[in-house]
Amino acid sequence: MRQEFNFNPLKHNAFKAKKYAQYFTNIQIATFMAEMINNISFNKTRTLKILDAGAGEGILGIQAIKRCIKLGYKAIELTFYEIDDELHPLIQKHFDDLKRHFDGQDVKIDIKIKSADFVLSRPSEKYDISIINPPYFKYSVKTSAYADATSDLFKGNPNIYASFMAICVKSLKKSGILISITPRSFTNGLYFKGFRNFLYENVSFEHIHIFKSRDKVFKDSQVLQECVICKMIKSKQNGKVIVSSSNSDIDIASPIINTYSKNLIIDMSNDLKMIHIPEDKREANILMQANLLESTFEKSEYFISTGPVVEHRTREFITEHNSNPNMKMYVPLIRPHNVTPMEVKLLEHGKNAYFLISKSSKKHLLKNKTYILLKRFSTKDEKKRLIAGILHANILTSEYVGIGNKINYIGVKDEELSNEEALGLSAVLNSRFMDDYFRCFSGNTQVNASEIRVMKFPSRKKVQCIGKEVQEKTITEDILEKIVLKNLFSEDLKFE
């Protein structure tokens, strides 16, 4: 029996990896991605064309060749794009090792290695399969050569990896396959809206794989973004989407696999059209329950905005000491440490700050009203993404309040937020249910206002009912959860 061919990656130069935003794929992930090449019906009598853009050492392309030979393809041509010329000999070596392995078998495999910039020098050929781990970096929309390089495909310049994916899709033949590993960020948020629309118009999401431990994938390269693997077909969207999950790359060969309706995964009910990715059946159940809510945050007449104080631009107005003799001229500047579940705390704290009231500074302040304050970023020590506290109007004696831009503030459109409704709104946002629902479509620790606006949400009437009940009880986290679920779904639900 012929021994299995093993890819032997070499240690790459860390400085050059950073320069080119290279995050090399390991053998476990590459094998998993290559095995997504299945259920294909390309003619086996012609040459199968594969594209590996941002190839690195060529591991994805090599594994794809192995997979296609196993599926019975006899003639394969693989095109590598790699801008770092020093990696070309490694790609060639790995291919030569693979070719020797298949010597004597009835297969013909060839490669092309191109050093051109993939985004700026688009391929003219069409491919059957593209398998990629593209670079990840943002660029200046004013000075970068990449700005508007894909404007004919989608609106916006969110990240270079989106440009790679879009060009790969454009370069696929009808029914061609794209398999990619990228940050999860394209699945949600305003910046990737145009890119998502491009994908929906051109491909069908067939399989999405999510890693539960976001800090363990590419751990040697210190990548902390949550990553997903996606398989897409250049065709109309299929009615079902496979979603699999593993803790990390170590157990990726034995993932948890489920199949869901496209309507559960791709939310077409609003302008953002985000992609929901439940890690397991429990999260899928939460998504299904959330879809039963009668409204959205915005349709329930609530508004959400980012705090107007950008500290590095307003330093002349900020003091961190309350010993100033003119403290009557200052108002509290609310920072993330002041926001805790259900309440905003202004007790004496080493991180507390104060904002000067003056003619030129008032534009950075808000009128003192009752607001819900929602942290925009959660720390690694916090178990929840959604942390909301009530800033009661009567907690301050001043006419104004300063709210930093690391906090979102929430209120009712054209109305004052009553104490009762503030309690209900804070309870809903702090519930485990709403936090778990939010995690199904947000893969990072940032809470964006645009995502909150389109979240499925209870009506104002239900929020007020929750607030009334919360007001009458001594609240623990478990009691709060029971109150929220009972009012949202009229039954005692549990999500184990």
**Pair (233, 316) in one structural domain:** no
Whether residue 242 contacts residue 207, with contact meaning beta carbons closer than 8 Å, is answered with yes
Here the CATH number for the domain that contains residue 195 is 3.40.50.150
What residues have CB less than 8 Å from 134, skipping those under 6 apart?
53, 54, 160, 161, 164, 165, 180, 182
Mean pLDDT along residues 198-208 = 98
Mean pLDDT along residues 275-294 = 95
pLDDT at position 123: 96
Residue 276 structure tokens: 């929901």
25 vs 7, 63, 89, 249, CA distance in Å? 12, 11, 18, 10
Going by their DSSP bridges, the two strands 330-334 and 400-403 should be labelled as: parallel
- Counted domains in the chain: 2
Does 130 score more than 80 pLDDT?
yes
Whether residue 408 contacts residue 304, with contact meaning beta carbons closer than 8 Å, is answered with yes
The answer to whether position 4 is within a domain reads no
Mean pLDDT along residues 251-273 = 95
Q: Position of tokens 């979240």? A: 455
Ramachandran region, residue 426 (left: φ > 0; alpha: ψ -120 to 50; beta: rest): alpha
The answer to whether position 296 is within a domain reads no
Three-state DSSP state, 458: coil
**Pair (266, 374) in one structural domain:** no
Instruction: Please write the tens of the pLDDT for every residue from 296-348.
Output: 999 999 999 999 999 999 999 999 865 555 667 899 999 999 999 999 998 87
List, as one string, the DSSP characters of 126-161.
-EEEEEE--------TTT-TTTTTTTTT-S----HH
The answer to whether position 496 is within a domain reads no
Does 375 score more than 60 pLDDT?
yes
pLDDT at position 1: 35
Does 221 score more than 60 pLDDT?
no
Domain that holds residue 91: 14-279
**Pair (481, 392) in one structural domain:** yes
Mean pLDDT along residues 203-212 = 96
Instruction: Please write the tens of the pLDDT for every residue from 456-470.
Output: 999 999 999 999 999
Does 14 score more than 60 pLDDT?
no
Nearest CA to 318 out of 404, 432, 427, 220 is that of 404
Cβ neighbours of 213 (radius 10 Å): 14
Does 491 score more than 70 pLDDT?
no
Going by their DSSP bridges, the two strands 127-132 and 240-246 should be labelled as: unpaired
pLDDT at position 494: 67
